[in-house]
């Protein structure tokens, strides 16, 4: 284990974490304000990735692709909110789970219908490809570093939006008492559509950004969705700050666990067995983390006290 | 028109028995296999319905128990067919091909895991509970994928179906008979459970936890017991499902399967004794006919499901009896 390797893995963990944050922020916002559990959030991630791959493939511009991803995911989110989700706010959680599960089926198979089962590819733009040298002589891919930057910028932007703007005041008020702010003259259904579209756009952005380092395919959204659930369970549902801390914890645990646990096991096991059991335990690492947090605090790190 | 629920129960069970017998008469073994599949999925959903319908806990991770049942069968049969030793630390065994033993192991292991998951996840409720059960499901899924000894992502194939004393389980109708009898026994026991003091207390806890607590019940203990029983039943179904396919793979742990089990219950009617059986029959029928028409049949399933949630409360039984059924 050398220091450059450790720093590189920490950066990988951060990059994974901030991308999870983009997903988790939307989920937790939607739950906090509207009280809705949205399984179809992973589909919006997929929509963003496909829109980016299609537009970038047609125009050759990665940045147009990113804009397309934001627009397509926000549009899909707004339409879904107005057609389906709106009817579910007052419904039981079970109904929300089922209706959004149905939306996953429709989105996934619909996309398979349009694009087929083979993955699409989205290339990293030339201006962002290749490694950079960090202080200390460590080589690290520029694109991944950019992702960390974008993730942190979005986190700051979201914080400013919620704490400093008029819409942010309405969002925070909506979390506390939706009847009251409706009575005060805020158009609540427009606000809900806006929040849903905002969450969708963040998911779409994450899909497009991650799509460039992985492949763009049907079903790519659900594993990320479930990780985002783990994130907000750890952070506390409804808390953006919790989502941020939770996302970084999950990102770092998953990445560092996969690298260091097998090494750790090698200290007292033979190499082959250590590799096997180390990676098996590492694959469960974030769930063990979640279990521990729940034993300590059943409503998450920053959740409302029950 | 209002139909009596007991009549629906009788008709459904009779129909489930008559169809394979008819298929046997006209020599269509595939239909028998299809009905067997419906019976096994129904059994898994009956297990889930104990926590979901009676107890009001929306478990989105019941594939865990389905998968554990499957792997219990896969591991025991794998060691029996390769004549290798399964070392469990305290003792070793050569595996087994006997169904009753496999069922017992599947149910006991599922129950123990349900106890562990239950103790952790029942500390929470509502959306937390949904997400946590989903996450535990995913944990087992990834563990199964990285479990190289039993095929990892590829799973384990069992060449010959396991045996039951006095029967030839390779004959489709005989294996169907085994599954059907098990389903009936479990349905009978669940009906008893629903009417027992435990079932009534659990039902009361679903409706109002505070009131249940006020009359001296312990909601946590009731829910945990329900979760354990439910896990054992779904585990049994998993062992049968693996035997039907003679194959287990991590896909038995997948979150889609957990979702589909909930869907089965919703189609039939939440909290109804026979609801999961109707749901499973409808699901397998749709899967067979729509799946034959188009590869993208899940789109239609999604639309149907959306319509049931938005417009048709109470599922098929709710539609027939005019009563909405349990609120979860």
Identify the residue with better confidence: A268 or A57: A57
Question: A132 vs A10, A136, A143, B174, B312, CA distance in Å?
Answer: 16, 12, 9, 67, 58
Instruction: Band the pLDDT of B305: cuts 50, 70, 90.
Output: confident
Say which DSSP state B87 is in: E
Cross-chain residue pair B263–A98, CB shorter than 8 Å: yes
Q: Identify the top-confidence range among A150-159, B21-30, B148-157.
A: A150-159
Q: What is the pLDDT of residues A243-253, one digit of tens each?
A: 999 999 999 99
Cβ-Cβ contacts under 8 Å, A36 against chain B: none
pLDDT tens, position by position, B31-86: 999 999 999 999 999 999 999 999 989 999 999 999 999 999 999 999 988 888 88
Q: What is the mean pLDDT of chain B?
A: 89
The pLDDT of residue A92 is above 80: yes
Rounded-to-integer distance, Cα B93 and Cα B95, Å: 5
| For residues B258-281, average pLDDT | 90
Residue B254 scores a pLDDT above 80: yes
B312 neighbors B324 (Cβ within 8 angstroms): no
Residues of chain B contacting residue A98, judged by C-beta atoms under 8 Å apart? 262-263, 266, 305, 308-309
Q: Which of B87, B299, B314, B328 to mutate to test the interface with A (most CBs of A within 10 A)?
A: B299
Distance (Å, rounded) from C-alpha A256 to C-alpha A1? 12
pLDDT at B320: 80
pLDDT for residue A107 is more than 50: yes
Write the CA distances from B211 to A306, B198, B325, B327, integer angstroms: 18, 16, 21, 17
**Calpha distance B212→B202 (Å, rounded):** 9
- The answer, yes or no, to whether residue A120 has pLDDT greater than 60, is yes
Instruction: Determine the Cα–Cα distance for residues B132 and B125; give it in Å rounded to an integer.
Output: 10
Q: How far is B134 from chain A (nearest CA, A)?
A: 7
pLDDT band at A202 (very low <50, low <70, confident <90, very high): very high
Query: How far apart (Å, rounded) are the C-alpha atoms in residues A84 and A77?
Result: 10
Q: How far apart are CA B219 and CA B211, in angstroms?
A: 10
The chain B residue lying nearest A35, using CA atoms, is: B127
Contact between B296 and A105 using a beta-carbon 8 Å cutoff: no
For residue A302, the model assigns a pLDDT of: 86
Q: Is the pLDDT of residue A6 over 90?
A: no
DSSP string of B22-49? HHHHTT-HHHHHHHHHHHHHHHHHHHHH
Q: Which residues pair with B156 in a beta bridge?
A: B248
Mutate which of B265, B279, B290, B306 to test chain A, going by most A C-beta atoms within 10 A?
A: B306
Q: Is B96 left (phi over 0), alpha (psi -120 to 50) or beta?
A: beta
From B264, B212, B129, select the one nearest A233 (Cα to Cα): B129
Calpha distance B34→B155 (Å, rounded): 22
Give me the pLDDT at residue B310, please.
82
Q: Among A202, A201, A198, A207, which Cα is nearest to A45's?
A: A207
Whether residue A220 is predicted with pLDDT greater than 80 in this model: the reply is yes
Q: Does B167 touch chain A (CB under 8 A)?
A: no
Q: Residue B327 — very low, low, confident or very high, per pLDDT cuts 50/70/90?
A: low
- Inform me whether the pLDDT recorded for B268 exceeds 90: no
Q: Is the CB of residue B239 less than 8 Å from the CB of residue B106? A: yes
- Residue A238: its pLDDT value, please? 82
For residue A205, name the pLDDT band (cuts at 50, 70, 90).
very high
Contact A37 B130 (CB under 8 A): yes
Say yes or no: ipTM exceeds 0.90.
no
Strand B86-87 and strand A138-141: the pairing is unpaired
Would the CB atoms of A232 and B124 count as touching at under 8 Å? no
Reading phi first (left if > 0) and then psi (alpha if -120 to 50, else beta), residue B151 is in left
pLDDT band for position B328 (cuts 50, 70, 90): low
Q: Does the pLDDT at position B118 exceed 80?
A: yes
Q: How far apart (Å, rounded) are the C-alpha atoms in residues A201 and A44?
A: 8
Q: Is B120 in contact with A237 (Cβ distance < 8 A)?
A: no
Q: Which among B136, B139, B144, B220 is the top mutation candidate for probing chain A, defined by the most A β-carbons within 10 Å of its own β-carbon? A: B139
In order of A38, A106, A182, B313, B325, the CA distances from A84 in angstroms are 11, 12, 21, 16, 23
Which of A110, A226, A283 comes nearest B255 by C-beta? A226
- Set of chain B residues whose Cβ sits within 8 Å of the Cβ of A237: 127-128
pLDDT at position B12 over 50:
yes
In whole angstroms, what is the distance from residue A10 CA to residue A24 CA? 20
Residue pair B326/B54 in contact by the 8 Å Cβ criterion: yes
Please, which residues bridge with residue B7 across strands?
none
With a cut of 70, say whether residue B326 has pLDDT above it.
Answer: no
Hey, where are the domains in chain A?
A: 7-218
In the structure encoding, which two tokens stand for residue A166, read together? 């008029």
Query: Which chain B positions have a beta carbon within 8 Å of A295's beta carbon?
Result: 120, 123
Q: Could you tell me the CA-to-CA distances from A130 to A144, A227, B213 in Å, in that order?
A: 10, 29, 62
DSSP string for residues in A88-104:
GTTS-HHHHHHHHHHHH
- Give the span between the Cα atoms of A100 and A77, in whole angstroms: 12
CA of residue A244 relative to chain centroid, distance: 10
Compute the average pLDDT of residues B122-138: 87
pLDDT at B1 over 60: no
B240, B182 Cβ separation under 8 angstroms: yes
Angstrom CA distances, A244 to A15, A151, A237, stand at 12, 10, 12
pLDDT on residue A304: 67
Which are the contacts of A187, defined by CB distance < 8 A and separation ≥ 6?
none
Q: What pLDDT score was predicted for residue A306?
A: 42
Question: Between chains, do A109 and B310 touch, taking CB under 8 Å as contact?
Answer: no
Å from B256 to nearest chain A CA?
9
Closest CA to B173 of B42, B38, B28: B28
Say if CB A47 and CB A114 are below 8 A apart: no
Residues in a beta bridge with A120? A216
Measured between alpha carbons, how far is A40 from A61 in angstroms, rounded to an integer? Answer: 28
**Domains of chain B, with CATH numbers?**
5-321 (1.10.3470)
């Amino acid at each position: 284990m050398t220091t450059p390797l450790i720093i590189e893995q920490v950066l990988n963990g951060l990059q994974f974490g901030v991308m999870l944050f983009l997903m988790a922020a939307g989920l937790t916002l939607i739950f906090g304000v509207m009280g809705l559990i949205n399984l179809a959030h992973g589909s919006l991630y997929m929509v963003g990735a496909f829109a980016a791959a299609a537009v970038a493939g047609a125009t050759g511009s990665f940045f147009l692709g990113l804009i397309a991803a934001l627009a397509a995911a926000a549009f899909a989110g707004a339409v879904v909110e107005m057609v389906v989700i709106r009817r579910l706010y007052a419904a039981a959680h079970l109904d929300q789970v089922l209706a959004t599960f149905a939306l996953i089926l429709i989105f996934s198979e619909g996309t398979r219908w349009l694009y087929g089962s083979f993955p699409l590819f989205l290339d990293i733009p030339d201006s962002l490809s290749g490694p950079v040298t960090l202080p200390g002589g460590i080589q690290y891919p520029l694109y991944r570093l950019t992702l960390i930057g974008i993730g942190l910028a979005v986190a700051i932007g979201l914080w400013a939006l919620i704490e400093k703007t008029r819409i942010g005041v309405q969002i925070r008020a909506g979390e506390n008492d939706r009847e009251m702010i409706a009575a005060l003259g805020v158009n609540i259904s427009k606000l809900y559509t806006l929040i849903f579209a905002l969450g969708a756009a963040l998911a779409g952005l994450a899909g497009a950004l991650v799509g460039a380092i992985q492949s763009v395919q049907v079903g790519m959204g659900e594993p990320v969705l479930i990780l985002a659930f783990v994130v907000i369970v750890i952070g506390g549902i409804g808390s953006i700050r919790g989502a941020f801390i939770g996302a970084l914890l999950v990102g770092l645990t998953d990445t560092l666990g996969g690298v260091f646990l097998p090494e750790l096991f090698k200290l007292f096991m033979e190499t082959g067995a250590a590799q096997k059991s180390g990676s098996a335990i590492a694959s469960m690492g974030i769930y063990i983390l979640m279990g521990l947090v729940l034993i300590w605090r059943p409503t998450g790190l920053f959740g409302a006290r029950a | 028109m209002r139909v009596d629920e007991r009549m629906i129960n009788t008709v459904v069970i009779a129909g489930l028995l008559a169809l394979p017998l008819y298929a046997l008469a006209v020599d269509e073994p595939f239909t028998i296999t299809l009905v067997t599949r419906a019976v096994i999925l129904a059994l898994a959903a009956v297990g889930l319905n104990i926590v979901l319908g009676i107890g009001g806990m929306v478990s989105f991770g019941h594939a865990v128990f389905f998968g554990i049942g499957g792997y219990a069968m896969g591991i025991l049969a794998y060691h029996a067919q390769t004549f290798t030793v399964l070392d469990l630390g305290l003792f070793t065994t050569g595996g087994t091909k006997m169904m009753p033993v496999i069922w017992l192991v599947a149910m006991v292991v599922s129950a123990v895991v349900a106890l562990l998951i239950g103790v952790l996840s029942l500390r929470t409720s509502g959306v937390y509970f949904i997400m946590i059960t989903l996450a535990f499901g995913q944990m087992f899924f990834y563990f199964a994928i990285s479990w190289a000894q039993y095929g990892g992502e590829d799973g384990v194939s069992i060449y010959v179906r396991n045996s039951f004393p006095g029967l030839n389980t390779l004959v489709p109708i005989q294996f169907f008979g085994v599954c059907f009898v098990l389903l009936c026994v479990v349905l009978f026991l669940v009906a008893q459970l629903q009417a027992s003091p435990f079932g009534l207390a659990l039902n009361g806890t679903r409706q109002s936890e505070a009131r249940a607590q006020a009359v001296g019940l312990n909601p946590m203990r009731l829910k945990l017991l329900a979760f354990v029983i439910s896990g054992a039943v779904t585990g049994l179904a998993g062992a049968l499902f693996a035997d039907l396919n003679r194959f287990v793979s991590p896909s038995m742990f997948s979150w889609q399967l957990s979702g589909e089990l909930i869907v089965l219950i919703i189609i039939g009617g939440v909290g109804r004794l026979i609801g999961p059986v109707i749901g499973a029959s409808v699901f397998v029928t749709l899967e067979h006919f729509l799946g034959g028409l188009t590869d993208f049949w899940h789109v239609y399933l999604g639309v149907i499901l959306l319509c049931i949630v938005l417009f048709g409360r109470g599922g098929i039984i709710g539609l027939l009896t005019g009563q909405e059924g349990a609120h979860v």
